[in-house]
Amino acid sequence: MATMEDRMVEAALGAFDAWCEVSRLGRRRLIDAWLGQLAVVREDLARFLTEETGKPITLARGEVGRAEATLRATAEAVGGFGEEAVPYDLMAGAEGCRAVLRRFPVGPILAITPFNFPVNLAVHKLGPALAAGCSVIWKPCPQAPRTSKLLWESFEVARRRVGAPENLLQLASSDPVAAEQLAKDPRIAAVSFTGSERVGRHLEQVLAGKRLLLELGGNGAVVVDEGVDAAAVACQVAPAAVAGAGQSCSKAQRIYVHRALWDAFVPAFVAAVKLLPVGDPMDPATVVGPLIDEATAHRLDASLDRAIAAGAEVLLRGPRQGALLPPAILAGLPEDDPFQCEEAFAPITVLTPVDSFEDGLDRAAATRFGLRASAYSRDQRHLRQAEVKLRAGGVLLNLPPTFRLDAAPFGGVRASGNGFEGPRWAMEGFTEGHLIVEGPAL
């Protein structure tokens, strides 16, 4: 007897066979229809998101707005994607030849998405995959079932409205064992995963040879040069360190400050973090809400105790209340401390003085991760050094590491993943290129 996973893959294959023949205009109409329906359920999505994950309601509304921007960028990308002229007739002996590089959808996609941005990060996979001509099986996070179901239902309304094939986007169980079976199915053409490094590396092992697109963790660094406005930089970086309880893979976790600026920056940063409201996620003023669950908050609180017992200086810390862990700022940690070399995924920040901007760049780059890194300086020569030395998929200059335009490429290198998301670039991951060359008639 066929399992549920078998039936889902069969349905995805049938939907793909019909959808891959649809014109770019037809695909864009679907994305536009989904965008319109997303606006209808906007407030309900934000409320569900807050109730299920604890993300502050203002940030949740912002995330849904970003998801709309992502779909809008996806619709715009469809028109310019899929065919590129190649000047074959520049080659001697190829006079009269015509060549194009055409991109074709690879087949059914399995998309696996995390809890920290359960709407926008889902749309970043689902929208481009559908726009590229693929069918999708979506395994959402288990922590936000109502949010995920409502997002899927909004798509279904749009799909029926434009007459797109049934089973084009299927909502799978959040069970990780079932998801792995889906991922291993040879009929699934590609797997797109956003989540922890541990799970990503496991998928690499069990899916050897399959197209695997990974967006993994980070431990974002910020390097602050002498001569900048300490208060202005602190106010810009503080939300990047703790907003949404720091549950962002691109959050500012390690901040390296030029020793000449240390005495000005440290109190300014602590003060800026203290100004960010902590508490009830349904309060529109709240910036720092609870972590995803109490067990996670308890584990991180114990990790703070460990670091302090080992000699860390406490610049800011408050008592844990259930799943709510107030922002913590530490100093004096060695580079091999877990808070320096691993992803905290929490409102925990480490400040470290450095003797020079170059030293800060070297320390910032001394990590196996490579998602986002920032550098602040008024010296253009230093900023050009940062472009080269900060080995990350996104290097932000005079901006915090969380600064992101959803239409732009976003991705990591090394332990932070491979390739780029952002609609135009994600579509490349869901397609394969065929060079079509036509010679003159004989």
User: Mind telling me the catalytic residues?
Assistant: 215, 249
DSSP one-letter string for 362-409: HHHH-SS--SEEEEE-S-HHHHHHHHHH--SSEEEESS-TT---TTS-
* Residue 298 neighbours by CB distance under 10 Å: 15
- Side-chain-side CA neighbours of 97 within 13 Å: the count stands at 18
Residue 401 C-alpha from the chain's centroid = 12
Apex 59 CA angle, 53 and 61, nearest 5: 95
Question: Distance between CA atoms of 68 and 56, rounded to whole angstroms?
Answer: 19
Query: Nearest to residue 126, comparing CAs of 86, 158, 96?
Result: 158
C-beta of residue 231 within 8 angstroms of C-beta of residue 197: no
Phi, psi of 22 (to 5 degrees): -75, 140
Tokens of 95: 């006079």
- Helix and strand element counts for the chain (H, E): 15, 15
Residue 181 C-alpha from the chain's centroid = 24
Question: Distance between CA atoms of 442 and 430, rounded to whole angstroms?
Answer: 37
Residue with tokens 């407030």: 43
Question: Distance between CA atoms of 352 and 342, rounded to whole angstroms?
Answer: 16
Question: Distance between CA atoms of 183 and 18, rounded to whole angstroms?
Answer: 22
83 DSSP β-pair partners = 102
Residue with tokens 């992803």: 343
Strands 254-258 and 221-224: parallel
Which uninterrupted H or E stretch holds 170? strand 169-171
Residue 177 vs residues 196, 203, 280, 309: alpha-carbon distances, Å: 16, 12, 34, 39
